[in-house]
Structure 1
Amino acid sequence: MIPAPCLRLAVSGNRDGGWLTAVRRSPRARRLLVVLAVCLLVGGFLAVVGPRRVAMELAGADPDWLAAAAGAAILSLLIWSEAQRVLFVAAGAEVGPGRFLVGYVAGNFAKRTVPGGRLGAPAVMAYALCRETDLPYERGLTAVTVGYAVGFPAAIVVPIAALPLVTATGTEGAGPALLLAMVAIVVVMLGAGGLVAARPGPAVRLLHALARAGRATLGRLSARAGRAMAAERVDEAVADAGETLRVLGRSRTALALAFVLTVAGWVAGALALSAVLVALGHPAAPAVAVLAVPLSTLGGVVPLPAGLGGVDATLGTVLVAALALDPVAAGIVVLAYRLASDGVIVLVGGLLTVVRAATGRDPAV
């Protein structure tokens, strides 16, 4: 016997244009669909590799090196928080490192757990950080966007610096292929930047689309977050962006410091991957880790929590190409790395949210 709610959903879906229309109209159905997609990806990986081998490899990992990987991941978070705080202070905010870190951790928790969070990361991070500072949301959104603009060259400079070492020590043929990929990424990103500068209209429409995604995900959990990402607030942020950019542009020292700190954050993230490799019995390969970790973030465009699937495929591809790992071994390394980095950050962010709620303070997300 079909339950009445399911029968009503099926009937209304057929009448209004099919089950896809029904899913789009139901927030609960969308969340269930995302959970199903995540379960299918993880279950598919376990089915291909074999649950027994995954369990054996992870059980045999060196716990000290795994703890070191988690520590390096937290260190990268601390460094990136300070890089973003430098830009907020340059934009006019008055906030100490500790309080700003609270908002930064909360924002990272949201963008790693909310479907599409990384796609709408600027809006999500600006909301979480402005909750902890005196900066208006519009100026905060611009400061966060500048942070991402500073982060892009940092994410390119670090792998380029590591590429000669990877070419010298990696597998035959890996260097030219990785170099070609790097050149393609730089060309595409520079072309996109030039297009935005010449025709800002599409970029503004994209910002509105990301805000809509934020309202449909984070906005379902927090009415205040939904209001912060409302269409009129986005328009106000775009209108205010010019003045904020001029203020930040005059703070060349802040931009340079943010760049250096962002590079240091990538190096710390690479140390986490190196520690995971050692924990699982592979060479540390720090040059490969420095190359792989920044490049893997390009997979964050996949609209699943923490870029699940895209980040993992990018990271695994670099490991296979540069270290000649078999795909199964590379997949296990990626899984362990994600647990030691994203998993730990989500755990810390979740605990922070629970503690703030339990002590009577509104969660930052």
Structure 2
Amino acid sequence: MDGWNWRALLIGFTGALILLGVLFFVVGAKPILESLTSADPALVAMTLAFVLAWLGAWGLLFRTVLETLGIGLPIRMSFFAYASAAFANNVTPFGQAGGELLTAGLISKVADARYETGLAGIATVDVLNVVSSLVLIFVGVGYYATTAIIGERLETAVGSAVALVVVLGTSMILIWRYQESITDRIAVGVGKIADWLPGKTADPDAVAENVAQRLRRFFDRIGQMATQRRQLAIAFGFSLLGWLFQTIALLTAFAAIGSSVPIYIALFVIPLGNLAGATPLPGGLGGVEAAFVALLVPTTGIPAATVTAAVLIYRGLVYWLPVVIGGGSVVVFGTRTVA
């Protein structure tokens, strides 16, 4: 990372720590710490195991999507490759929106593929995860509605999720429909920027043509994957499996501090809470935890301190485990690339 990235990362983590500090202040630091210190170590270890299972499931999702592009990865490698992708998402602002470019570069190195091919692969993984999360939201909220009155906060969260998916879906349809026009406009724009740069060393027309070729290859890869329906169906299944492992991990975290949450609540709280990952914080750190607490307290009736402690156990593993494993993998992959 250059100096600006390090400063951006420092600012992001500072903001996350401030948010977490506010959460501790509002809920109460003492009862949160008491709940955390009373957690059952065996159940915390089980939570960690389910988090590893989530990484494994989404690693297989990643591998299946890459197979549709003609990129083969060993199963073991797919686990560390996805952990590296999760690492990139967790250390860049705006969550997954910020880590995709880094992840695409990683794929191009690990799998010896073109950058735009890796970008198409990770973008497809994200789309499948959004669609599968929406399925779980509707299932969980639908069942919850049969047992309790849906509060205004939950209505707002679900409405925001639906609106976001509609906007993303509409945007993808329009981008696909007008891909040629978009490609030409972006290429021309980048060429003009290259022409304006002081001390330019590249031909602006050549730069524009290179960008246009890369964008066309990107759209070609997306079209290629769209024809692989069986593989995409398998990938969708791995996506759902990953969400379910996250759900079980959250339930186990609550069990570790002596509480229980209905599974249908966890089904919709996890994907809804992760929407806060779109905040300009590294991996949504701080914002996601606050969103989880805001959703779980009114829907479960469990004291805020207990909920916060369980969320911190769950999120501590979901956030930091990929950072440790993925960060180490990035170093190893980088070393192999150089070697």
TM range (shorter): 0.7 to 0.9
Code of the aligned partner of 1:156? L
Report deviation, 1:38.
2.6
The percent of aligned pairs where both chains have the same amino acid is 24
Listed as ranges, the matches of 1:73-112 within 5 Å are: 73-112=51-90
Q: What TM-score does the superposition give when structure 2 sets the normalisation length?
A: 0.81
The match for 2:315 is 338
The match for 1:135 is 113
Q: Does 1:189 align with 2:175?
A: no
Match of 1:326 among 300, 303, 309: 303
Distance 1:304 1:125 in 2: 18
Code of the aligned partner of 2:235? A
Match of 2:231 among 239, 254, 266: 254
Code of the aligned partner of 1:72? F
Aligned residues: 312
Q: Would the alpha carbon gap of residues 139 and 329 (structure 1) be closer, same or farther in structure 2, given more than 3 Å must change?
A: same
Distance 1:334 1:233 in 2: 46
Match of 2:255 among 258, 278, 281: 278
After superposition, the C-alpha distances for 1:122-146 in whole angstroms (9 at most, x for unaligned) are: 2222222222213211111112112
The match for 2:241 is 264
Match of 2:217 among 240, 243, 247: 240
Distance 2:168 2:318 in 1: 30
Distance 2:54 2:230 in 1: 21
Where structure 1 has 5 or more consecutive residues not aligned to the other structure, the ranges are 1-24, 209-229
Code of the aligned partner of 1:174? I
Q: Would the alpha carbon gap of residues 27 and 112 (structure 1) be closer, same or farther in structure 2, given more than 3 Å must change?
A: closer
Match of 2:142 among 164, 182, 192: 164
Q: Does 1:298 align with 2:289?
A: no
Q: What TM-score does the superposition give when structure 1 sets the normalisation length?
A: 0.75
Report deviation, 1:29.
4.0
Distance 1:246 1:254 in 2: 14
The match for 1:62 is 40
Code of the aligned partner of 2:287? G
Please tell me whether the aligned partners of residues 54 and 246 of structure 2 are also in contact (alpha carbons under 8 angstroms): yes
Query: Counterpart of 1:92 in 2: which secondary structure?
Result: coil
Bigger RCO of structures 1 and 2 (CA < 8 A, at least 6 apart): 2
Q: Would the alpha carbon gap of residues 243 and 157 (structure 1) be closer, same or farther in structure 2, given more than 3 Å must change?
A: same
Match of 2:174 among 188, 193, 198: 198
Report deviation, 1:301.
0.6
Distance 2:259 2:116 in 1: 47
The match for 1:347 is 324
Please tell me whether the aligned partners of residues 100 and 132 of structure 1 are also in contact (alpha carbons under 8 angstroms): no
Distance 1:339 1:65 in 2: 14
Code of the aligned partner of 2:336? R
Query: Counterpart of 1:283 in 2: which secondary structure?
Result: coil
Report deviation, 1:58.
0.7
Code of the aligned partner of 2:288? V
Distance 2:97 2:80 in 1: 21
The match for 1:174 is 150
Report deviation, 1:351.
4.1
Code of the aligned partner of 2:75? P
Query: Counterpart of 1:64 in 2: which secondary structure?
Result: helix
The match for 2:190 is none
Q: Does 1:145 align with 2:123?
A: yes
Distance 2:6 2:130 in 1: 35
Q: Would the alpha carbon gap of residues 102 and 49 (structure 1) be closer, same or farther in structure 2, given more than 3 Å must change?
A: same
Report deviation, 1:94.
2.2
Please tell me whether the aligned partners of residues 64 and 235 of structure 2 are also in contact (alpha carbons under 8 angstroms): yes
Where structure 2 has 5 or more consecutive residues not aligned to the other structure, the ranges are 187-206
The match for 1:122 is 100
Q: Would the alpha carbon gap of residues 272 and 144 (structure 1) be closer, same or farther in structure 2, given more than 3 Å must change?
A: same
After superposition, the C-alpha distances for 1:139-185 in whole angstroms (9 at most, x for unaligned) are: 1111211221222110110121222332344xx42378646643552
After superposition, the C-alpha distances for 1:8-58 in whole angstroms (9 at most, x for unaligned) are: xxxxxxxxxxxxxxxxx9555434323322332233333334433222211
Please tell me whether the aligned partners of residues 92 and 99 of structure 2 are also in contact (alpha carbons under 8 angstroms): no
Q: Would the alpha carbon gap of residues 191 and 305 (structure 1) be closer, same or farther in structure 2, given more than 3 Å must change?
A: closer
